[in-house]
Structure 1
Amino acid sequence: MVIPISEGMLDVGEGHQMYFAQYGRPDAPAAVVLHGGPGSSSRISMLDWFDLTQHRVVLFDQRGTGKSKPSGELRFNTTQNLIADIERLRAFLGISKWVVVGGSWGAMLGVLYAGRHTTSISGLVLRGVFLPGGAQLDWFFRDLQALVPFAWSELTAGMTTEEAISVLATLTHRLHFGTESEGIESANRWSRYENAVMDAMAGKVDSVSANIEAGVLHKYRIQSHYLSQSCFTTESAVFDAARHISAPVILVHGTHDWICPPANLVRLIDYIPDAEVRWVSRGTHTASDPSIFRALRSAVHDIFARHLNATRNAVDSSQH
């Protein structure tokens, strides 16, 4: 078991306490990992992307998630709050610049954060980029039914035609305004649907899993809170932030990603022309996919190497 070199709770205001932990070598170049979701949390397995003898790695749980408190809290929980929290954490830990590593929802947060806090970034590694807006949500909650028909039928079972067409709005209403049992049942539906999509991407037969993870209600209440509000941002804001990124960027994306389709990356790279794009042939969405894991680990090590070379060149230039 990996033991953190430090961990704690950072008061980020508005009643929120954010859990964080640091791993690796304290005097090494630093990285922060932005977990997916929204509504998920950091995982120890994220450390496998790094060399803890050469890197300092910061994990944290976004507002309302994981070990952060209050659990499931929605008040003062927006994308803008999360971006401010990342910068607060960097300043609190005394890190001048860090590498930002983010996947899916965390990749979008990474773009927005890097665009706003350009001087805090030494590099970015972004995997399976999520984009806000109707196109992404229509794909996941409507168009994807063509690939996972049984899972989508289970997701919408018992709904009227109108409720099924607007399945995100239906689930959101039940999660936030229904009884506790209705909320749990809706969270379980959503969780099973996501798991079925993940299984189908991995080549398993479209089916519905009965295995439900703990804490599912808070996770999907937060996720619906964000998705139903277009993630409190716009695609235009994401693309504008991307234009302002000045640090090296490596983008990793699976060609068979059904959660955040490759079209997301194709659209984003127009705004980061200097980014290095690494397509993973037949790669899916999750970092647990072996091909995605290898590509992600390689990208992380390469971005640190570039940071080290840039630092050495800067030192050499100052001495001449």
Structure 2
Amino acid sequence: MDRNTSQGPAAALYPPIDPFDQRMVDVGDGHRLYVEQCGNPDGLPVVVLHGGPGGGCSPMMRRFFDPAIYRVVLFDQRGCGRSRPHASVRDNTTWHLVADIEHIRNLLAIDRWAVFGGSWGATLSLIYGITHPDRTARLILRGVFLMEQRELNWFYGGGAGQFWPDQWNRFTSLIPPEEHDDLIAAYKRRLFDTPAHEQVRYARAWASWENALASVRSQGQSGEPNGEYARAFARLENHYFSNAGFLEHDGWIRQNLHRLTGVPTVIVQGRYDMICPPLSAQLLASALDAATLHMIPFAGHALSEPGISEQLVRSLDRIAQTRTDTLRFDD
């Protein structure tokens, strides 16, 4: 199918498509997840893991895949998007999400699939792959986040703030100076221990800080995020970051990368990513035996960055070209 030939972030993408399947899936613990499928029902299966935690899926995410070749599975993780209950952190951990991915795979009768994720979605992709390498045909990762304390220190401890002092001041100004030594903890108190309308105020500040830095072309004007979206996004991110991603220790992902030996991995990273600096992508690529790293020269963090979009589509098309005879991941 021909791609969009217009200019701008969508230039490299396939045309918009609608899902051929949409459903709410009960995964237990009181959680129901929104799940959709699009593309070719008999095609190469790929699951899309969105960022955040708490970001939810968007129609744009469907458009990276040739719909004649790929069977694309998207879902909103616990507590966000169209999944319910909204903004809930109860029974909501990394290991619940890994179990949810397996629940969906089994429900859809998929043996092995590719796993596509960016930012937190890349984190979750790696954790899922490490936990279920036999079900992971390959990984396609963007904007690598390894869920390490040094990364949280960079973004919430003032590192990125040295490049964006105006936006950093807006983010920190809601918190008394005596609490600036641990802004994640300070925001946690306000996102969980205040009335809902107060939570929205702090949630918007949390989301705006991240959104403002997403694109290399950003001028810091991210706009005011929707209150309902911001509350889920901020509460879930804060919940996961306060608990170090629910991993056993710092550096858990890198320590367990040997379990991904032989799993083909594509990494697409913006050279000027202010949210997830390129060091993590470089460390990951160096530790994997079957990884290809594409460092995009003039790009930041966002999935919509033109150079990032183009390379992701190019990589997915290359995978598709090797599978047009069987439309299966059987190697």
Does the 8 Å CA contact 2:93/2:246 hold for their aligned counterparts? yes
CA RMSD of aligned residues (A): 2.1
Range with greater deviation from structure 2 (27-36 or 245-254): 245-254
Shift, 1:195, TM fit:
2.4
* CA shift in 2, pair 1:20/1:160, >3 Å: same
Equivalent residue number for residue 83 of structure 2: 68
Deviations 1:242-283 (A, max 9, x none): 221132111111111111100111222232122111111122
Q: CA deviation at 1:150?
A: 0.6
SS in 1 for 2:251: helix
Matched, 1:265 2:281: yes
User: Which amino acid in structure 2 is aligned with residue 128 of structure 1?
Assistant: G
**1:243 correspondence with 2:258:** yes
Contact 2:39 2:70 in 1 (8 A): yes
* Residue among 169, 174, 191 paired with 1:175: 191
Q: Offset at 1:311?
A: 7.8
Alignment check: 8 A CA contact 1:20 1:58 kept: yes
**Amino acid of the structure 2 residue aligned with 1:86:** I
Within the candidate set 288, 291, 314, 1:275 is matched to 291
Q: Which residue of 1 aligns with 2:212?
A: 196
Q: CA deviation at 1:158?
A: 4.6
Aligned length: 312
Equivalent of residue 157 in structure 1, options 161, 173, 176: 173
Match of 1:224 among 231, 238, 241: 238
Write the distance in 2 (CA, Å) between the matches of 1:123 and 1:301.
Answer: 14
When residues 154 and 210 of structure 1 are mapped into structure 2, their CA distance, relative to the original with a 3 A threshold, is same
The whole-number CA distance in structure 2 between the counterparts of 1:224 and 1:313 is 36
2:54/2:234 contact within 8 Å kept: yes
Q: 1:288 to 1:13 in 2, by over 3 A?
A: same
User: Which of 40, 48, 52 pairs up with 1:33?
Assistant: 48
Contact 1:151–1:208 at 8 Å: present in 2 too? Answer: no
Amino-acid identity (%):
34
Alignment-derived partner of residue 211 in structure 1: 224
Distance 2:312 2:161 in 1: 29
Partners of 2:265 and 2:60 in 1: how far apart? 23
Equivalents in 2 of 1:45, 1:236: separation in Å? 32
2:127 to 109, 112, 115: 112
Matched position secondary structure for 1:33: strand
User: Offset of 1:180 from its aligned partner?
Assistant: 2.3
User: TM-score, length-normalised on structure 2?
Assistant: 0.88
Q: TM-score, normalised by structure 1?
A: 0.91
The CA distance in 2 between the partners of 1:128 and 1:312, in whole Å, is 27
User: C-alpha distance in 1, partners of 2:314/2:133?
Assistant: 24
Aligned counterparts of 1:278 and 1:305: Cα–Cα separation in 2: 19
In the alignment, structure 1 residue 255 sits paired with structure 2 residue 268 = no
Distance 1:20 1:156 in 2: 36
Pair 98,210 (structure 1): closer, same or farther in 2 beyond 3 Å: closer
Kindly indicate whether the alpha-carbon contact (under 8 Å) linking 1:21 and 1:59 is maintained by their aligned counterparts in 2: yes
What's the CA shift for 1:192? 1.9
SS at match of 2:89: coil
Alpha-carbon deviation of 1:240? 3.5
Aligned with 1:222: secondary structure? helix
- Among 284, 290, 307, the alignment partner of 2:306 is 290
One-letter identity of the residue aligned with 2:298:
R
Distance (Å, rounded) in 1 between the aligned partners of 2:287 and 2:29: 34
Ranges in structure 1 where 5+ consecutive residues have no aligned partner: 316-320
**How big is the shift at 1:301?**
1.9
Deviations, residues 20-50 of structure 1 (Å, cap 9, x unaligned): 0000111111111000000110111011110
